[in-house]
Structure 1
Amino acid sequence: MYLKKKSTILNIATAKQSNFNRYFLSDFVEIQRKSFYTLLEKGIIEEFSKRNPITNTKKTIEVFFYPDYYQLTPPQYTPNQAIIKSKSYTSKLYIPVQLTDRTSKIIKLKWVYIGDIPLMTKRGHFILNGCARVIVNQMIRSPGIYYQKKIYENFSDKWSEKPENTFTRYYADLICNRGTWLRIEMDKYNRIWAQMKRVPKIPIMWFLIAAGLTDKIILKSIMDSKILLYNFQEDPLNPQKKSLPYVTTPPAAWIKLYNIIFSKKLKKAQNKQKVKKKSKKTYIKKKTYKNLNYSELINLKKTIELKAEQGRKWIFNKFMNPRTYDLGKIGRLNFNNKLKLAVSLNITILTPQDFLAATNNLILVSKGLRELDDIDHLKNRRVRTSGELIQMQIGIGLVRLEKTIREKMSLVLITNQLKKKDFLKKTKNKKEKRSKGQTGHLRWALPCELTISNIMNTKPFNGALREFFGTSPLSQFMDQINPLAELTHKRRLSSMGPGGVTRDSATLAIRGIHPSHYGRICPVETPEGKNTGLVNSLTAYARVNSQGYIETPFYRVYKGQVQKKKGFYFFSAKQEEKIKLGAADLYTSDIGFLPKASIPVRIVEDFTKIARNEIQYVGVAPIQMISIATSLIPFFEHDDANRALMGSNMQRQAVPILKPQRPIVGTGLEARAVSDSGHVITAKYSGIVMYTSSKKILIYSSVRIKYRRHQERSLSYE
């Protein structure tokens, strides 16, 4: 009797344990709320700090922001009032600004109204002009350096089926958050070029010299450095046959820059000129250097140096200026890891060492000593959440604000100078009239006073945010057909948008399912048609970390025992490559031990069978690999993938009925989905539930605190 009772208790315990997983699920709208909280906590401060200080051309006037002390006013309307009155749910942003005039030695400090920031509701959306809007999460290539290959095929004639010969060449893409993308590529003649958009390609040797490196450092640092000199031959494969011209003629500045570094003719000419000056037999030299005298030589040298300086400045503004180029901390981290550098994480621009290491690594990749990168792997793709997208737009607004401040500063100085000249003229005329006996009245022209309120303007900041929320493809009207539609919309991942791919250019590789998507991106829920594979959904357990990479949880396995009590271990796609993973639906004994037989596991992309003691982690739940909408399909594992895709999409289109009912067959996630969507009322405090209805929840709390009236009031869904 006792044993029977014990077995029934254990069965109930295991049943409870299987249902217990769903309580570990984080809030489904947390991704939106967390990203907006990060924007308020760090993002606004970061963007204003980048623009500090703003000075005029002569650096006599300086404007300095103190973003750490910024303040947001309480919104004018509540979310419900904003919807009813067709207004925006926004808050005013105030920042202390200091104006320093170095000529008059005056310092002014004032709180300044910068603009309106739309606030996120607790349901994870924004309200603008009475309409609910959602900012969709964007999935893009992570900033860094990626090595890939290009296959060249030579056909004997136009109609031949098979190529006569094929050969592979490699290239590196240097990707940034803001600025120009750079490609270092090796062509079919083994020449290495630096290539950008709308600019002729540049030989890598010239590019490295222009970046600030010397020829000795370049040739010593790079393995097999003679490859760099192939660009200067007519035909690297056959040097005697001079039939192959340059692929693209480089700009004149680069040719002259190369001449000043490598050509010895100029130095020889200078030396001969000096010898000619010293010797008395000048009549022979005059004929030889008839067209090249000393002054012309100096002028030539100066023009070459000027062109070289212009080239260097151009390179600096493209890749080494923090105001025009930004890798971000993640990009810098990726560069350091890939190229084995030790550059500080605060340096978010490209350095000459980056270019040098990237070129060296490309030569090593071409020789098969380094591996290529899989661009579709989730370790090379990151998510831009709503907070980050708004932060980028705030940055654009502040760039415009900086421009207007500079213009106004220079305008005030010019007007002051003109008034001063006018005043001096008038005083001179008055003196002349007095000498002639005429009287004239002189008006005192006060100079324009430079104040903080004069130079600050709210239009650039508000205009940038209005543009983003109104016209960006990532800012969409919220899908409000039913609670599931809202929830799915807020957990959506889009590969399109600014900086992403387009429907027409996206290949099958981008749209397809990758092994690294397991537990992170749902393989089932995606639209049909042109957007297939480009618009995806996050899985039920997935979360986005601070760096923008998607993580998924696992239970740890120690000597064959699944340690559920230790909680979740979250891994990104890069961390997951180093571990041996078991499936979530593996049978475990009452005390959590795996079976003694060999167990199927996944190691990176390979599937194999190993002993239970070798397994390191197992999945958390069978629904870990699918999204919320897909996990609401009963007996999903017996369904066809195409049918499941249509089912998960059609559930979002179901119109809610007047009297909601429980599903006949449920999966256990329905209550959680509707509560996280915000369509049911939830109690703010814990305690003993005294009464519940669709409009009111009464909670009795035994904690020794003063009685709170708001515990009994009706809680609105907002």
Structure 2
Amino acid sequence: MTQYSFTEKKRIRKSFAKRASVLPVPFLLETQLASYRAFLQASTALETRKNEGLQAAFTSIFPISSHSGNARLEFVGYSLLPPAFDVTECQQRGLTYCSALRAKVRLIIMDKEAPKETVKEVKEQEVYMGEIPLMTGNGSFIINGTERVIVSQLHRSPGVFFEHDRGKTHSSGKLLFSARVIPYRGSWLDFEFDPKDYLYFRVDRRRKMPVTTLLKAIGLSNEDILKRFFAFDAFYLSKKGSHMDLVPERLRGEVAKFDLVGKDGKVLVQKDKRITARHIRELADAGIKKIAVPNDYISGRTLAETVVNKDTGEILASANDEITDELLAKLVEAGVAKIHTIYVNDLDQGPYISQTLKLDDTPDQTAARIAIYRMMRPGEPPTEEAVEALFHGLFFSEERYDLSPVGRMKFNRRVGRSELTGTGTLTNDDIIAVIKILVELRNGRGEIDDIDHLGNRRVRSVGELAENQFRSGLVRVERAVKERLGQAESENLLPHDLINAKPISAAIKEFFGSSQLSQFMDQTNPLSEITHKRRVSALGPGGLTRERAGFEVRDVHPTHYGRVCPIETPEGPNIGLINSLALYARTNEYGFLETPYRKVVHGKVTDEIHYLSAIEEGQYVIAQANAQLDKAGRL
């Protein structure tokens, strides 16, 4: 196939490739340009702007209300003025190629005297919000006259991850499972087993506490906790002897402590024999619903519910109490007819939550929240308001905690929910779902996650990194505005008297001038320029550090195929931490890398192309691009 060169000259290019090109090479700087375009949304009309980039940063901070609630500042929209100098002039004069950002804000002052909410006055004004550097047509920035590139960052995706310590913590080599909920911004929540099989949680790597403290703090009682994590066995007590509901599956693998007898008096399982699958079938076929059990079979089990004397209202035993011979005699004496115990076995139904509950000394929700407050703020006296505010602010407040759409999608997918959207904060069900999966892992069901899988790492490009910096500047502005809003009511101030753009400019300047990801552009030759803009780094703020990165992170992973080049990485301390995008790779809406695949129908390779992320590709069998084909294009 004859193809002309990409320059104006009509030179014929001959291809000596073994395989025909199916997809033309895409525009190589698209990732950078598209990301920054989405950040600025300069050419989009105010009404049609998506909630991303600058728009998202503004809407997450505004409206700002004064402490009294009598004045508030609302955000209407923003505009970018044309740059004062063009690119070449900025390079010659040593200036930054940037554009002034003006935001239209509305100051609303309420009438204090009025009985119900009435607006006293509204002032609307455009306010200068600092300078935003612009990207040149070839994906670089001119900062103080020098050309710089913002390298994309490959960081751990927000969401929930399950792993174990590979038997390194304890000398016995026992696998200790742990789970970690990583938000886009906010406190990390870790759950971990210790060598004795107690389950703990910790917030932001502080000291650990029993996980049942957290469950009580979100409003569950001891009974609720046991109900969520265990199946129950029912026992019927009487002075003549006890019976239990027979669930044949639950007996598998146990040693019969007494003869199991059928309705016709035939012994189905002898005492001290292990109960096998055949025995279970026989028991099920015999249709036995209840069996008589000796008292020593019941003692040693754990109660699932609080037992109350119906006549006197006296509490005889609490949920999670162990049944002793004395307690059993006391229950029979008091005329208790039916009790529930939790079902545990040594094989695949461990008593982890129940034994952690015994370790936990907080009686109720308030005590649990105070315990969490003491862990987070040691030495401060816990007042009721402070305790509530801190606990709510940890995982349930939108200002302080955000999973982000990516994190919510990854979280829901991992805990097995079908819908991929939801709130950015954690819910009680989320916390319980994570603990359930962790307990299942300890029980030997389920798989742990591979952190180096590209489905668990995502790309943060220029736009997103700049947005985070801009938001951090806005947060500083918000604090100042909150204080000044109180004066705005009395002193007749205008919006531009309230907003000081310096913190925003400082944050942006610091990011483009001195961030680890803002680099002096490599201008050795045109190719080195392009590769520099397509570089992906695991270092930088919120990423790894050279010293902490082990061998696994740096290694080539099977999911790199078609996404990240396995060869191009620097030698030396940065090896494997700085990579380059593969030629056809692109990022999807969530920031995960996608690569194009050709669909194979009945063994024939078609030219139908699908872009798949590392998560989606796991559902298919993938053949290499250079797999041998016959003349008809069959594998």
Same fold (TM over 0.5): yes
Contact 2:394/2:401 (8 A) holds in 1: yes
Which whole-Å deviations, capped at 9, do the CAs of 1:93-127 have from their partners, x for residues lacking one?
Answer: 12221110002700111122212111111100111
Q: Which residue of 2 aligns with 1:348?
A: 424
1:504 aligns with 2:547: yes
Distance 2:94 2:169 in 1: 64
Q: Which residue of 2 aligns with 1:66?
A: 76
Matching residue within 564, 581, 593 for 2:633: 593
> C-alpha displacement at 1:217, in angstroms?
3.3
Distance 2:548 2:418 in 1: 36
Q: Which residue of 2 aligns with 1:28?
A: 28
Q: Which residue of 1 aligns with 2:537?
A: 494
> C-alpha displacement at 1:517, in angstroms?
0.6
Q: Which residue of 1 aligns with 2:197?
A: 190
Matching residue within 172, 175, 179 for 2:186: 179
Amino acid at match of 1:175: I
Q: Which residue of 2 aligns with 1:357?
A: 433
1:228 aligns with 2:353: yes
Contact 2:71/2:486 (8 A) holds in 1: no
Q: Which residue of 1 aligns with 2:104?
A: 96
1:142 aligns with 2:154: no
Contact 1:143/1:176 (8 A) holds in 2: yes
Contact 1:182/1:195 (8 A) holds in 2: yes
1:80-95 maps to which residues of 2 (within 5 A)? 80-95=88-103
Contact 2:563/2:585 (8 A) holds in 1: yes
Counterpart of 1:581 in 2: which secondary structure?
Answer: coil
> Normalising by the residue count of structure 1, what TM-score does the alignment of the two structures yield?
0.63
Task: Flag the 1:103–1:541 CA change in 2: closer, same or farther, 3 A.
Answer: same
Amino acid at match of 1:31: T
1:361-400 maps to which residues of 2 (within 5 A)? 361-400=437-476
Counterpart of 1:593 in 2: which secondary structure?
Answer: coil
Q: Which residue of 2 aligns with 1:124?
A: 139
> C-alpha displacement at 1:559, in angstroms?
2.2
Counterpart of 1:354 in 2: which secondary structure?
Answer: helix
1:338 aligns with 2:414: yes
Task: Flag the 1:407–1:154 CA change in 2: closer, same or farther, 3 A.
Answer: closer
Counterpart of 2:429 in 1: which secondary structure?
Answer: helix
Q: Which residue of 2 aligns with 1:318?
A: 394
Number of residue pairs matched by the alignment: 478
Amino acid at match of 2:604: Q
Q: Which residue of 2 aligns with 1:558?
A: 601
Q: State the percentage of identical aligned residues.
A: 35
> C-alpha displacement at 1:560, in angstroms?
2.6
Contact 1:257/1:308 (8 A) holds in 2: no
> C-alpha displacement at 1:142, in angstroms?
0.7
Amino acid at match of 2:605: V
Greater relative contact order structure (CA < 8 Å, 6+ sep): 2
> C-alpha displacement at 1:395, in angstroms?
1.1
Distance 1:111 1:310 in 2: 38
1:43 aligns with 2:50: no
Counterpart of 1:46 in 2: which secondary structure?
Answer: helix
Which whole-Å deviations, capped at 9, do the CAs of 1:32-61 have from their partners, x for residues lacking one?
Answer: 001111112331111111112100111100
> Normalising by the residue count of structure 2, what TM-score does the alignment of the two structures yield?
0.71
> C-alpha displacement at 1:585, in angstroms?
2.1
Q: Which residue of 1 aligns with 2:47?
A: none
1:379-458 maps to which residues of 2 (within 5 A)? 379-412=455-488, 416=490, 448-458=491-501
Amino acid at match of 2:547: D
Q: Between Structure 1 and Structure 2, whose CA radius of gyration is higher?
A: 1
Distance 1:495 1:187 in 2: 31
Matching residue within 586, 589, 593 for 1:546: 589
Amino acid at match of 1:535: I
Counterpart of 1:167 in 2: which secondary structure?
Answer: coil
Q: Which residue of 1 aligns with 2:347?
A: none
> C-alpha displacement at 1:561, in angstroms?
2.3
Q: Which residue of 2 aligns with 1:158?
A: none
**Aligned-residue CA RMSD (Å):** 2.8
Which whole-Å deviations, capped at 9, do the CAs of 1:161-205 have from their partners, x for residues lacking one?
Answer: xx5x32111000111111111111111111111112363212111
**5+ residue gaps, structure 2:** 1-11, 42-51, 113-119, 232-341, 343-350, 370-380
Contact 1:174/1:181 (8 A) holds in 2: yes
Q: Which residue of 2 aligns with 1:465?
A: 508
> C-alpha displacement at 1:20, in angstroms?
6.0
Counterpart of 2:165 in 1: which secondary structure?
Answer: strand
Distance 2:522 2:182 in 1: 34
> C-alpha displacement at 1:18, in angstroms?
6.2
Contact 2:217/2:366 (8 A) holds in 1: no
Contact 2:201/2:211 (8 A) holds in 1: yes
Which whole-Å deviations, capped at 9, do the CAs of 1:241-271 have from their partners, x for residues lacking one?
Answer: xxxxxxxxx9xxx847568689xxxxxxxxx
**5+ residue gaps, structure 1:** 1-11, 156-162, 235-249, 263-304, 417-447, 595-611, 613-718
Which whole-Å deviations, capped at 9, do the CAs of 1:479-500 have from their partners, x for residues lacking one?
Answer: 1111111111101111111111
Matching residue within 565, 570, 579 for 1:522: 565
Amino acid at match of 1:478: M
Deviation larger for 137-146 or 455-464: 455-464
1:190-339 maps to which residues of 2 (within 5 A)? 190-197=197-204, 199-223=206-230, 226-231=351-356, 233=358, 255=362, 257=364, 310-339=386-415
Distance 2:386 2:157 in 1: 32
Task: Flag the 1:464–1:372 CA change in 2: closer, same or farther, 3 A.
Answer: same
Task: Flag the 1:153–1:488 CA change in 2: closer, same or farther, 3 A.
Answer: closer
> C-alpha displacement at 1:216, in angstroms?
3.8
> C-alpha displacement at 1:314, in angstroms?
1.8
Amino acid at match of 1:484: L
Contact 2:217/2:365 (8 A) holds in 1: no
> C-alpha displacement at 1:16, in angstroms?
9.0
Amino acid at match of 2:157: S
> C-alpha displacement at 1:306, in angstroms?
6.7
> C-alpha displacement at 1:227, in angstroms?
2.3
Matching residue within 574, 584, 592 for 2:615: 574
Distance 2:145 2:168 in 1: 58
> C-alpha displacement at 1:355, in angstroms?
0.7
Counterpart of 1:582 in 2: which secondary structure?
Answer: coil
Structure with greater helix share of residues: 1
Counterpart of 1:21 in 2: which secondary structure?
Answer: coil
Contact 1:125/1:134 (8 A) holds in 2: yes
Contact 1:339/1:358 (8 A) holds in 2: yes
